[in-house]
Structure 1
Amino acid sequence: MSGTEKGTYTAQARKLARIMHDGGCAPAKIGPLMVRIGETFGVRVSRAMDRRTIRRAVEEGGVAARMQTIYELSQSQGVTISADSTSNRGINIESSHMNLRVPDYTSGNVLTDPNSAPKVHFLGVEKTIDHSSAESVRGWNRRMQENIDLFNRSPLARRLERQYSVGDWLRILRGMHGDHASAEKSTAAGLQEQKRNATIHDLGEDVSSGKSYLELVEYLGAWNTKKIVEVGGLEAWNALSPAEQTERDVKMMDNIVTVLGREAYNALNPSDRRRIDLFVWGGCCMHKDLNSFKGGNNEMMLEWKKLGVAGPILLANKDNTALLQNLLDPTRPQDAVLTDDQLRAFEASTRGGVKTAALAGAIFNNKDDKKGQADRHVDFMTHALGLGAPHRRFPDTNNTRFGSHGDAAAELITYLPQYRQMMEVIQWSKQNPSLTNIEKNLRDALNDVPTLTELAAMAIYKMVITHPYLRQVRGPGTESTNHLELGPLHHSVRDHIQKILDNPDLLFSSDVRYQTATLDGLEWADSKAMKAVFELLPSLPHVKAITLAFFRGALTTWIHFSAEFAPGGLINTCTATKKQLAWMPSTNDANEGALGAYRVIIRGKPSLTLHQYNAQAMFRRNQTQDFMDTIFTAEDHAYIMREARRIDASSEEAQRRKEIVDFRLKTAETQKTKVQKDAQVLCDNLTRELVPESKMGELTVPLIHEQLNSYRARGAPNLLANSTYKKKADKLAALTTASAWYAVNGVPVVVPSVPESASEVPAVIAEGYCDEEDVEMEEAT
Structure 2
Amino acid sequence: MESENSSLKENNEALVSRADELARRLHNKSRQANRARLSADGLRAELNRSKHARAVQAVRLGRRKTDGIGKAMKLARVSDTKRWMKGKGGIFVEKSREMVRELVALKVTPENVDPVIHTVGTGLGLQVQDHISARQVGRVMEEGGIASDVQVAMEINASKAATASATDHTSESQMEGWRTVLVEGLVGTYNASPLGRANPIDVDEFITFIKALGTDHANDQKKLARLITEWVRNSRTVMLGKRWLSSASMQQYMPTILQFSNDKIANAGGLDAWNALSEEEKAIRDIEVCRALYCHFGEQEWKNLSAEERFEAESLVWCGCCMHKEMNSVKGGVEGMKLFWESIGGPAPVKLMNKANASAVKNSNSGSAASEKALDASEGGAVKLTSLPGALFNHKDDKRGQQDTFKLYFEDVLGFKVSCPDTSNTRFQSHCDCAIFIILYLPQILQFMSHIMYNKGKTALNHLEANVLKGLQDIPTLTELVVLALYANAVSYAYMRVVRATGNRKMNALDLAEFHKKVISFCEKIAENPDLLLAPDASYETGTLHGQVWEHPEVFYAIQQLKSKLPNLSGCLKSFFVGTFRLSAAARALIYANPTNYRNEGALGVLRRAVREAARLSLSVHNAKSKYTVNDTRQFLQSPAVTDAFRAWLRAEARRRIDSGRDRKCRMKIVAHEKVVAAEKEAAEVKRKAGGRAHKSITTTELIKNINWHRQFVEVGVIPAKTLISKMPKESKVRQLIAAVERYNKQILPRLQMLALAAMTAGVSDKDGVDGIPIVDSWDAEDEGLEEDMLDDYD
Quick check: 1:663 aligned with 2:673?
A: yes
* Greater CA drift, 25-34 or 430-439: 25-34
What SS does structure 1 have at the residue aligned with 2:212? strand
User: 3-state DSSP class of the match of 2:165?
Assistant: strand
Contact 1:682–1:713 under 8 Å retained in 2 = no
Q: Offset at 1:338?
A: 1.9
SS of alignment partner, residue 324 of structure 1: helix
Write the mapping of 1:384-403 to structure 2, written as runs, cut at 5 A.
384-387=413-416, 390-391=417-418, 393-403=419-429
Q: Which position in structure 2 is the counterpart of 1:242?
A: 275
Q: For 1:680 and 1:431, locate their aligned partners in 2 and report how far apart those are by CA, in whole Å.
A: 54
The 3-state SS of whatever aligns with 2:346 is: coil
Q: Give 3-state SS (helix, strand or coil) of 1:350's partner.
A: coil
2:390–2:421 Cα contact (<8 Å) kept: yes
User: Structure 1, residues 465-502: CA drift from partner, whole Å, max 9, x if none?
Assistant: 11111111114547732111111111101011111222
Structure-1-length-normalised TM-score: 0.77
Distance (whole Å) between structure 1 residues aligned to residue 561 and residue 291 of structure 2: 74
* Cα 1:397/1:738, change in 2 over 3 Å: farther
Q: 2:196 aligns with which of 153, 157, 160?
A: 157
Between 1:31-40 and 1:135-144, the stretch displaced more is 31-40
**Is 2:540 the partner of 1:530?**
no
Q: Say which of 638, 643, 654 aligns to 2:648.
A: 638
Equivalent residue number for residue 404 of structure 2:
375
Return 417-426 or 208-217, whichever deviates more.
208-217
Rounded to whole Å, the distance in 1 between the matches of 2:177 and 2:787 is: 35
1:471 aligns with 2:494: no
Asked if the contact 1:63/1:644 (under 8 Å) is kept, the reply is yes
Matched, 1:29 2:112: yes
3-state SS, counterpart of residue 160 of structure 2: coil
The Cα shift of 1:661 comes to 2.2
What is the aligned counterpart of 1:601 among 605, 610, 620? 610
Q: Is 1:141 aligned with 2:224?
A: no
Alpha-carbon spacing, 1:424–1:156, altered in 2? closer, same or farther (3 Å): same
Match of 1:343 among 372, 384, 388: 372
1:549-585 residue CA offsets vs partner (Å, 9 max, x unmatched)? 1111111xxxxxxxxxxxxxxxxx3234322311011
CA distance in 1, matches of 2:290, 2:220: 34
Deviation at 1:207, TM superposition (A): 2.7
CA contact (8 A) 2:392 2:403 kept: yes
Does structure 2 conserve the Cα–Cα contact (< 8 Å) formed by 1:133 and 1:183?
yes
Structure 1 residues 686, 459: closer, same or farther in 2, change over 3 A? closer
Q: Tell me the residue number matched to 2:86.
A: 4
Q: In the alignment, which of 587, 611, 633 is matched to residue 578 of structure 1?
A: 587
Partner residue of 1:308? 345
Aligned partners of 2:696, 2:774: CA distance in 1, in Å?
18
Counterpart in the other structure of 2:525: 499
After superposition, the Cα gap between the structure-2 partners of 1:310 and 1:735, relative to the gap in structure 1 and judged at 3 Å, is: farther
The residue type paired with residue 149 of structure 1 is G
* 3-state SS of paired residue (1:9): coil
Query: Measured at CA, do residues 451 and 326 of structure 1 come closer, stay the same or move farther in structure 2, by a change above 3 Å?
Result: farther
1:263 aligns with 2:307: no
User: 2:166 is matched by which residue type in structure 1?
Assistant: A
The equivalent position to 2:745 in structure 1, one of 696, 720, 724, is 720
Structure 1 residues 675 and 311, CA, compared in 2 at 3 Å: closer, same or farther?
closer
Matched, 1:132 2:170: yes
Kept in 2: contact 1:32–1:49 (CA 8 A): no
SS of residue in 1 equivalent to 2:166? strand
- SS, match of residue 67 in structure 1: helix
Say if 1:668 and 1:440 are closer, same or farther in 2 by CA, change over 3 A. closer
Which blocks of at least 5 consecutive residues in structure 2 are unaligned? 1-82, 710-735, 759-765
Distance 1:546 1:713 in 2: 41
Amino acid at match of 1:24: K
- Partners in 2 of 1:726 and 1:29 — Cα distance? 77
Superposition deviation, residue 349 in structure 1: 1.6
Q: Pick closer, same or farther for the CA change 1:734–1:292 going to 2, 3 Å.
A: farther
> How large is the RMSD of aligned CA atoms in angstroms?
3.5
Amino acid at match of 1:154: S
Matches within 5 A, 1:681-692: none
Q: In the aligned structure 2, how far is the partner of 1:434 from the partner of 1:681?
A: 50
1:168 alignment partner in structure 2? 205
Q: Is the 8 A contact 2:321 2:595 kept in 1?
A: yes
Query: Residues 648 and 339 from structure 1, CA distance in 2 versus in 1: closer, same or farther, beyond 3 angstroms?
Result: same
Q: Which amino acid aligns with 1:586?
A: P
Cα gap change, 1:438 to 1:487, in 2 (>3 Å) = same
1:458–1:627 Cα change, 3 Å? same
Q: Distance in 1 between matches of 2:750 and 2:598?
A: 49
**What residue number does 1:207 align with?**
244
- Residue 743 of structure 2 aligns to a residue whose secondary structure is coil
Normalised by the size of structure 2, how large is the TM-score? 0.75
Distance change >3 Å, CA 28–CA 549, structure 1 → 2: same
The 8 Å contact of residues 80 and 174 in structure 1, kept in 2 or not, is answered as: yes
The question of whether the paired residues in 2 share the 8 Å contact of 1:686 and 1:714 is answered with: no
* C-alpha distance 723-520 of structure 1, shift in aligned 2 (>3 A): same
Counterpart residue type for residue 296 of structure 2: V
Shift of 1:25: 2.7
Q: How does 1:441-590 map to 2 (within 5 A)?
A: 441-475=467-501, 477=503, 480-555=506-581, 573-590=582-599
SS at match of 1:442: helix
Larger relative CO (CA 8 A, sep 6+): 1 or 2? 1
Structure 2 partner of 1:776: none
Determine helix, strand or coil for the equivalent of 1:4: coil
Cα shift at 1:145: 2.5
Q: 1:207 to 1:659 in 2, by over 3 A?
A: same
Whole-Å Cα distance in 1 between the matches of residues 770 and 353 of structure 2?
51
Distance 1:342 1:170 in 2: 58
Paired letter, 1:503: N
Counterpart among 131, 144, 147 of residue 64 in structure 1: 147
Q: What does residue range 289-308 of structure 1 map to in structure 2 within 5 Å?
A: 289-308=326-345
Using the aligned pairs only, state the percent identity.
29
Letter in 2 for 1:74: N
Partner Cα separation in structure 1 for residue 453 and residue 380 of structure 2: 22
Structure 1's 766 and 259: CA in aligned 2 closer, same or farther, altered over 3 A?
farther
* Deviation sequence 1:78-120 (CA, Å, 0-9, x none): 11011213xxxxxxxxxxxxxxxxxxxxxxxxxxxxxxxxxxx
The CA deviation string for residues 721-760 of structure 1, in whole angstroms up to 9 with x for no partner, is: 6667333079957994899xx9xxxxxxxxxxx9xxxxxx
Distance in 1 separating the partners of 2:695 and 2:478: 58
Contact 1:81 1:176 survives alignment (8 Å): yes
The one-character-per-residue Cα deviations of 1:142-199 (angstroms, maximum 9, x if unpaired) are 12233222221212334xx311243132111101101112222222221211110011
Call closer, same or farther: CA 1:394–1:149 in 2, change over 3 Å. Answer: same
**CA 1:29–1:713 in structure 2 vs 1: closer, same or farther (change >3 Å)?**
closer
Aligned residues: 651
How big is the shift at 1:11?
A: 1.0
Given that residues 686 and 713 in structure 1 are in contact (C-alpha distance below 8 angstroms), is that contact kept between their aligned partners in structure 2?
no
Summarize deviations over 1:304-363 as a string: whole Å, max 9, x none: 121121112221212222233389xxxxxxxx8422211111111211111111111111
2:131 to 48, 58, 61: 48
Q: Distance in 1 between matches of 2:267 and 2:390?
A: 70
1:81 aligned counterpart, secondary structure: strand
Q: What is the deviation of 1:239?
A: 4.8
- For the 8 Å contact 2:213–2:318, the answer to whether it is kept is yes
2:422 counterpart SS class: coil
Cα distance in 1 for partners of 2:772, 2:437 equals 65
Shift of 1:382: 2.3
